[in-house]
Chain A
Amino acid sequence: MKPLAAIVAVSEMKPGRYPNYNGMEMYRQVIAQFLREWPQLRPSDIGGLLSAPAGMASADGTDVFAHEKISEELGIEPTFSETINAGGGTYALMLIRASLAIERGLCDSVLCLGAGRFPNVGSGMAEMMSKLISHPEFEYPYGTYIPPIFALNATRHMHEFGTTREQLAQVAVSQREWSLLHPDALMAPQGRLTIDKVLSSRPITYPFNLLDCSVPSEGGSAVLVVSPKIAQRYAKKPCFLYGYGEKHTHSSISQAHDLTTLGSKDTSAQAYRMAGVGPKDMDFAQLYDSFSINPIIYAEDLGLCAKGQGGAFFAGGRTAPGGEFPVNTYGGLMSFGHVGDASGQTMIVEAARQIMGIAGEARQLKKADLGVVHCYGGMMSEHATLVLGSAS
């Protein structure tokens, strides 16, 4: 396997509510923590910089010049830099873009930054969000908002494959187990879940109850990507990128060609092909989980199980700590916390920690040589798969 890029340093804020920080201040907090955790880094170590828009989906406005402001504060003049956005898919795309830039010699390293907010809904924010996440003219008038949009995928999956609400609930239960092993997980203090607890939580939108949904919060993270040639300079055991795939299938959920097989089928096939591996070679997976249906569909599309068997794949705690195949080893968006679009980078941070062997005693996997990360943005619109691993 040929390494395309290397992750050598990662850091993540504890998810929570940070009402005193605006979008740019969230970035400063992320960076300050990153520099505390990796004190050997200097401005000269950062050749490129990618950020997501600052303050996205917040009342005080979205800043698409975040990258230049951050670079100025860092005291760097990057030769590759932009603010990019594909929702939760942004950060996998950053890794892809960073890899391409490094491969072409635009820079030797790229700092990828995310600082996500998930605003408390009020005073027109819900209407604004609805117009943002669904077609403002042809979907918004029907009361669209995020949970019912994903429920459309879930209902269709149940119809086509007999997936049950108990199987959906099991995803939440297993991820809560993982979150209990993460010191920063937002839902860990709530303790263990049971299928009954999920099924008896408040109905939100059929088939989702409250505990089928991720936890809106705020947070952010940083990932330093460098050329494989210089990776050893920064980390004894870097996390290498071996393959990736990207596809953007739709914007409005009603215009998706399929609700149960998504762009993830193609992006994972491309990522595996590029890496020269297959799903059976994976030691773990991190699968973006805004709602309990998502990891079920992604497990299928990524070839971790057959199409239609995603529900069974999660049954009986198979993906929980101690299970056959670890999924979302930090608790996922559902139990670690959904830090807005930056949740896509949380998954990369966790995958890198597992592969670098720095996930901490409680949840470090015994074998984490190869893992697959799947992120999406929008309403399962923008897909990206990464195959990450240790030195081959």
Chain B
Amino acid sequence: MSNPAVNPKPVPEINAHSKPYWDGAQRGELMIQRCRGTGKPFMYARCWSPFDFSPDPIWEKASGLGTVFSYTVVYQPPYAAFKADCPFVMAIIQLDEGPQMMSNVLNCDPESVRIGMKVKVCFETRGNGFKIPQFEPA
């Protein structure tokens, strides 16, 4: 990013059911959901539990700690908005709570990222000051 003030990378279209996730991110908190029936945590935001269909899953703040489950170093950007970031890391992060999520791994040499690397959540500011959860080496 040459100029963070005009970070051209995409921001998500937020849905009603997922608003607590993105509201949390704006506060600097990574939110996950927990099933009211089984007590098991999950990602991504859903209106019901995928374990037992119990409604209205509980939102709670995650530890923000996780491990790189798999990764790739992207040399060819998907489109112009990511050109300045190349090479960048795209990774599946396994949260300490169990669920997995997509992320980039920021604030390190992309080629130093490895499976099993401990990471912690950070937040990247995009257009209009919108924050999205990201990860960096712990």
Contacts and interface: CB of A to CB of B under 8 A. Distances in A.
Interface of A: 121, 126-127, 130, 134-145, 147-148, 151-156, 159, 202-208, 252-255, 259
The B interface is mostly helix, strand or loop, or mixed, namely mixed
A203 B87 CA distance: 10
Given A135-B102, A137-B18, A254-B102, A143 B88 contact: yes
A141 B21 CA distance: 14
Given A143-B74, A145-B78, A205-B73, A156 B115 contact: yes
Interface residues of B, number: 37
A138 B12 contact: yes
B85 A156 contact: no
Given A140-B10, A141-B10, A143-B85, A152 B74 contact: no
30 contacts: A121-B79, A126-B79, A127-B10, A127-B79, A135-B102, A136-B13, A137-B14, A137-B15, A138-B44, A138-B45, A139-B102, A140-B10, A141-B10, A141-B126, A141-B132, A142-B102, A143-B9, A143-B82, A145-B79, A147-B76, A151-B90, A152-B72, A153-B70, A155-B115, A156-B115, A159-B70, A203-B75, A206-B75, A252-B44, A253-B102
Contacts of B102: 134-135, 138-139, 142, 144, 252-254
Name the residue in B9, B15, B79, B104 with the highest tally of chain A Cβ atoms < 10 Å from its Cβ: B79
A114 to B, nearest CB: 26
Contacts, number: 109
Given A134-B102, A138-B43, A139-B102, A205 B74 contact: yes
Contacts of A142: 90, 102-104
Contacts of A208: 72
Given A142-B104, A255-B44, A255-B100, A136 B90 contact: no
Nearest to B88: A143
B1 interface: no
Contacts of A135: 44, 102
B12 A152 contact: no
A206 B74 CA distance: 7
Contacts of B108: none
A44 B91 CA distance: 53
B78 A144 contact: yes
Interface string B15-26: 100100000000
Contacts of A145: 78-79
A137 B20 CA distance: 13
Given A142-B102, A143-B85, A148 B74 contact: yes
B115 A143 contact: no
A174 to B, nearest CB: 24
B75 A254 contact: no
Contacts of B90: 142-144, 148, 151-152, 205
A155 B85 CA distance: 21
A205 B9 contact: no
- Residue of B12, B18, B88 with most partner-chain A CB within 10 A: B12
A145 B90 CA distance: 10
A152 B71 contact: yes
Given A126-B78, A137-B15, A139-B102, A156 B70 contact: yes
Given A130-B79, A142-B102, A206-B75, 8 more contacts: A138-B12, A138-B44, A143-B82, A143-B85, A144-B90, A152-B90, A156-B115, A159-B115
Nearest to B92: A254
A204 B76 contact: yes
B71 A204 contact: no
A130 B86 CA distance: 17
Task: Please give me the 9 A-B residue pairs with the lowest Cβ-Cβ distance, nearest first.
Answer: A151-B72, A145-B78, A126-B79, A156-B70, A206-B73, A254-B102, A139-B102, A152-B70, A203-B75
A383 to B, nearest CB: 19
A203 B74 CA distance: 9
Contacts of A151: 72, 90
A1 to B, nearest CB: 39
Interface in B52-97: 69-79, 81-82, 85, 88, 90-92
Contacts of A155: 70-72, 115
A127 to B, nearest CB: 6
Q: Which of A138, A147, A252, A259 has the most CB of B within 10 A?
A: A138
Nearest to A206: B73
Nearest to B86: A143
B11 interface: yes
